[in-house]
Amino acid sequence: MQREEAESIAVSALSFVAAEPELLSRFLALSGIEAADIRRAAAEPGFLAGVMQFILAHEPTLLRFSEASGIAPAAVGAALAALPHGAASYDIQP
């Protein structure tokens, strides 16, 4: 999977989390990010990978996201691996 596609999936996942108050609350609590700081945090290299890890860490959330977005669960995992800080083998070169 190309990085651009992975970023698109991660942005969709962030939108999904942001639209669900219970998920957003849990994400903020686990990440330590304040709601007002999400936009700033989103610019950090590992933020999108963190969103994907959050989605993947809870199967019911992953399945809800997959159903809502039409993105297969396996594609969510592949997207994580293609993002900066998403996998140990990620190559940061442009």
pLDDT greater than 80 at residue 94: no
In the structure, what pLDDT confidence band is assigned to residue 3 with cuts at 50, 70 and 90? confident
- The predicted-structure confidence for 5-14, as pLDDT tens digits, reads as follows 999 999 999 9
- The predicted-structure confidence for 28-66, as pLDDT tens digits, reads as follows 998 888 888 888 887 787 888 989 999 999 999 999 999
Number of neighbours of residue 15 by Cβ within 10 angstroms: 14
| 83, 73 Cβ separation under 8 angstroms | no
Number of neighbours of residue 19 by Cβ within 10 angstroms: 10
Q: Could you tell me the pTM of the whole model?
A: 0.83
| 56, 65 Cβ separation under 8 angstroms | no
Domains of the chain, by residue range, sit at 3-82
Q: How far apart are CA 52 and CA 40, in angstroms?
A: 17
Q: Both tokens of residue 70?
A: 């039409």
Tell me the average pLDDT across 9-29.
Answer: 93
